[in-house]
Structure 1
Amino acid sequence: MSSNGATKKSLVLNAFVMMCSGHQSPGLWRHPDDESWRFNEVSHWVELAKLLEKAKFHGIFIADVLGGYDVYTKTLDPAKVTGTQWPVNEPLTVIAAMAAATESIGFGVTASTTYEQPFHFARRLSTVDHLSKGRLGWNIVTSYLDSAARNMGLIEQPKHDERYAQAEEYVKVIYKLLESSWRDDAVKLDRKSGIYTQPDLVRPINHEGKYFKVPGPHICQPSPQRTPLVLQAGTSRAGKQFAAQHAEAIFVSAHAPEVIAKSIAEVREIAKTQFGRDPTDIKVLALVTAILGPTEEEAQAKLADYKKYASHEGALSLFGGWTGIDLDQYGDEEELRHVESNAVRSTVEGYAKFSPGTSKWTKLTIAEHIAIGGNGPLFVGTPSQVADGLESWVNESDVDGFNFAYALFPQSFKDIIELLIPELLSRGLFWDDYAVPGGTYRENFYQKPGQTGPLDSHVASSYRWKAGVAPEDHVIQD
């Protein structure tokens, strides 16, 4: 029980990584104890998965982009030089290797609905869900970099709401392929009769929409989850509507709990009133970075050490990609709260509001703010102090868990495991084992044995062609 008498949440803990060096802390790959530069090695990822599973992490959340951060200075050069999410590899490929070395930990992979055909992507989802025995999650994004759009033959990104309209149709095509195209028991593997798959239990989906025409049928048999655990990132108006219908987990990033509390409440209310979902079925995970030490002095010493390696140019590259704002056009000492750009002023005011103590916000201040931890809060201190910070986020914003970014790879995760998790366990804030050892991502995410597919109240479940349902009695939804 918490101090106010409410039942404490058992927190969902993920590692937040990317197939690149540094990720949310550009420049830290230069630190002698950092190994993020090994991201090209499969052993690097297998070691991480085994480390985190031993500590009972729920999942490994792998971010991705399809272009470079080329807004700052109007070139890609700062990102190239500083290794700021550049180079970056495709994330789905390595999950099979991590899954082969583990039994229970889940894997959330980021993939965009804007630049890939759903039929091809559904095949990749089913394949990895099979190979991982149902431990795959899909983080649905619509992409945000114009450089990605140019790489896909466009001049710029489609408009925001247009991307979400396309995403809505895309996800429905995925549901049709994964849930409706094959009956649960279509594969017979009957050696005596010679029937591998019963023909009338596999059907085309014949989807024809504004963005996609997909006759089907799905090319893969039903995987353990059929639809992987659905993750989503985005709290715009369209993003909240999308999340309220589809997301089982929502990833948020902000520097203070007050920033996201209203959005979380709105998503949960929309889910309940418009889509008939239990609001608590949507788990919200906040981006955080923790720098821990047995004493506060040791934690602060780590931070001071890390700052020596942090790249301000890399941080400004990230800022440019996230906001579309090139801070290179402003002077080094120019007060950014006084410039002519409304976008710059509002963004910087947001940082200033939740980072008191900085009297003047300049390019350097922004860079220092982002250079370690990116667009999320930085918790520095003892296990007790960091746990207090996490609890305040839970209480003030109603988040259900955290995506932990790293400063050093893998040392930041080792510090969380050795220092923070024992503190969370002592407070009743974390489980001591997987709810379903060897189970699917969804079973452990909801702590419900047997819940391999989406919950009954989730829209994807309405597409499911269940065993025993005659072909004429199963209608594929539009």
Structure 2
Amino acid sequence: MSKQILLNAFDMNSVGHINHGLWTHPRDQSYRFDELSYWTDLAKTLEKGLFDGLFIADITGVYDVYQNNLDVTLRESVQLPSNDPATLISAMASVTEHLGFGLTVNLSYEHPYQLARRFASLDHLTRGRIGWNIVTGYLDSAERLIGQSELKDHDLRYEQAEEFLELSYKFWQDSWEDDAVLKDKQQRIFTDPSKVHAIQHHGRFFQSEGVFQVAPSPQRTPVLFQAGASPRGMQFATRHAECVFIGGDRPEKIRQQVQRLRQLAQEQGRDPHSIKVFVGITVVTAATSAEAQEKFKEYQHYASPEAGLAHYSSSVGIDLAQFANDEAIPYQHTNSIASVNQKFKEQRITPQDLKQQHVLGGRYPLFVGSGAEVAEQLIELLDQTDIDGFNLTRTITPESHEDFIQYVIPEWQQRGRYKTAYADGTLRHKIFAQGNQLPTQHPARQGKTQTQTLSNAVAFGG
């Protein structure tokens, strides 16, 4: 049986997300990102299209590397201003029944307890439709905002992330037993004290003792997303992540990444196909190929390749404005996104090359054509590379999502490659069809960690 395609919308609580400059298009509504109805309408649209989830990006900090200032970032709204994405989830969940929500939170600026509590609360309120996109950050500007001088070493950030996850798992998986909550009015027992346990954690980066405040949610642990593509990031992803988001411009390169991910997962004792791999894409589609090409030309008129370059500069930690248009960009070691920076080692890349790649202001693979053409191209990419699905970026809001739903999804359905109805259950069960909880081979389920059973001497307080 052919693999069923998984599909997320990829967005951010901001005007400019990936495809920069398109907010100036007369039909674009992304300037309304700070209105709640903008997001509830989007959620309803995506559920109509049977999207698996809305994957919401986020950053801490600003893009201030290009030209060593914020001028282009502010003028073009390159993810600035941007609002906290967690504030959107409950409202969108209230107008949908099935759509999942992948929420990006940078663990470098959080404590595991507060983050674990927030996600467990959201998992309750969404009835098990929440996921966490785990990021460690890549902006020096973020460090300065919290009073530090510069970004921590790349691999050190992942060491801290390992312990962060270890402690989070203790809160989500170990503090409360499955049947601790009784809600027994006759016996006056809401929770059985013998089935709630205090966590004891004393590590290199974090210390914590006590009971997790949130009772077990439908999934306990949110669905775990990760986007690390450096060697250290891939080790982390294949140990912890259930869904991995990768970039890639050529099918052979994407396939190599997928093979490496699955190999690493197997080496860590996991089923190599227990990880679902998503690739970011941009699509311009219409009823016919000619109409799609015309729409693409129209969009190009409003896009800003330079804004895309400003975004890219912060991604690699190098001011790309210092190089002439036809000058090869030399590799420089930075603590920013290692996998993106590595390209300067492997290829001769000039600012002009990057501007051509950023023809719509973003660098993800671009597909332009009729619904049938785009559907076939995406199926071919999926089958060639062994990925599992796509993160669809927006161009013109809400037009790009509506076009994809109208023209591409029916073509997938006719070919038997995309669902015609949602399955019941949590986000994890919808994606993996194996229940609500993490699989037993996942490190979060590898035996109980250090806890302390409560006794009558333990006092509860508020």
Is TM > 0.5 for Structure 1 vs Structure 2?
A: yes
User: Which residue in the other structure is 1:458 paired with?
Assistant: 442
Change (3 A) 1:386 1:351: farther
Give the C-alpha shift of residue 459 in structure 1: 1.8
Aligned residues: 446
In 2, Cα distance between equivalents of 1:285 and 1:434: 19
Compared CA separation, residues 350 and 424, structure 1 to 2 (3 A)? farther
Cα distance between partner residues in 2 of 1:105 and 1:341: 41
Say if 2:198 and 2:453, in contact at 8 Å, map to a contact too: no
| Paired residues for 1:179-218 under 5 Å | 179-218=173-212
Preserved contact between residue 65 and residue 143 of structure 1 (Cα < 8 Å): yes
Alignment deviations for residues 393-436 of structure 1 (CA, whole Å, 9 cap, x no partner): 21232110000001111110001100000111111111111121
Q: Which whole-Å CA distance do the structure 1 matches of 2:327 and 2:32 have between them?
A: 37
Partner letter of residue 297 of structure 1? A
Find out whether 1:118 has 2:118 as its counterpart: no
1:308 alignment partner, SS class: helix
Could you report, residue by residue, the CA deviation over 1:4-56 in whole angstroms, capped at 9, with x for unpaired residues? xxx31101000000001131111101101111111101111111111111111
Match of residue 432 from structure 1: 420
State the Cα distance separating 1:312 from its structure 2 match: 2.8
For residues 238-261 of structure 1, the C-alpha deviation after alignment (integer angstroms, 9 at most, x for no partner) is 111111111110011122222232
Distance 1:351 1:188 in 2: 61
The answer to whether residue 6 in structure 2 is matched with residue 15 in structure 1 is no
Q: Distance in 1 between matches of 2:242 and 2:330?
A: 41
Shift of 1:471: 5.8
- Name the CA shift for 1:428/1:163 in 2 (closer, same or farther; >3 Å): same
Distance in 2 between the 1:341 and 1:180 partners? Answer: 45
* RMSD of equivalent CA atoms: 2.1
Deviation at 1:200?
Answer: 2.2
For 2:68 and 2:221, how far apart are their aligned partners in 1? Answer: 40
Residues 346/14 of structure 1: CA separation in 2 closer, same or farther (3 Å cut): closer
Amino acid at match of 1:284: V
Alignment of 1:14-413 (within 5 A): 14-274=8-268, 276-331=269-324, 334-337=325-328, 347=343, 362-372=350-360, 374-413=362-401
More deviation in 257-266 or 343-352? 343-352
SS at match of 2:199: coil
Q: What are the residue-to-residue correspondences of 1:406-425 with 2, within 5 Å?
A: 406-425=394-413
Query: Retained in 1: the 8 A contact 2:175–2:211?
Result: yes
Q: Find the aligned partners of 2:283 and 2:237 in 1 and give their Cα distance.
A: 27
Report the 3-state secondary structure (helix = DSSP H, G, I; strand = E; otherwise coil) of the residue aligned with 2:7. strand
CA contact (8 A) 1:12 1:402 kept: yes
- Aligned equivalent of 1:475: none
Contact 1:288–1:373, Cα closer than 8 Å, also in 2: no
Deviates more, 1:195-204 or 1:235-244: 195-204
The answer to whether the Cα contact below 8 Å between 2:305 and 2:360 also exists between their aligned partners in 1 is no
TM-score w.r.t. structure 1 length? Answer: 0.89
Tell me, yes or no, if the aligned pair for 2:330 and 2:345 is still in contact at 8 Å: no
TM-score (normalised: structure 2): 0.92
| 1:89, distance to aligned residue in structure 2 (A) | 0.7
Q: Which amino acid aligns with 2:277?
A: V
Alpha-carbon contact 2:331-2:345 (below 8 Å) kept: no
Return the alpha-carbon distance in structure 2 between the equivalents of residues 11 and 122 of structure 1: 30
CA distance in 1 between partners of 2:235 and 2:302 (Å): 40
Specify every segment of 5 or more residues in structure 1 that has no aligned partner in the other structure, as ranges: 1-6, 353-360, 473-478
Q: Which stretch has the larger CA shift, 284-293 or 315-324?
A: 315-324
- Aligned CA distance change for structure 1 residues 98 and 364 (closer, same or farther; 3 Å): same
What amino acid does structure 1 have at the position aligned with 2:177?
R
Local SS of the residue matching 1:206: strand
Specify the code of the residue in structure 2 equivalent to 1:81: R
Moved more, 107-116 or 198-207: 198-207
1:203 offset after TM fit, Å? 1.5
| Distance across 2 between alignment mates of 1:330 and 1:249 | 37
Contact persistence 2:28–2:396 (CA under 8 A): yes
Q: Secondary structure at the match of 1:140?
A: strand
C-alpha distance in 2 between matches for 1:80 and 1:167 = 31
Q: Distance in 2 between matches of 1:427 and 1:349?
A: 41
Contact persistence 1:312–1:364 (CA under 8 A): no
Instruction: Check conservation: 1:289, 1:373, Cα contact below 8 A.
Output: no
The amino acid that maps onto 1:314 is: A
Unaligned runs of 5+ in 2: 334-339, 455-462
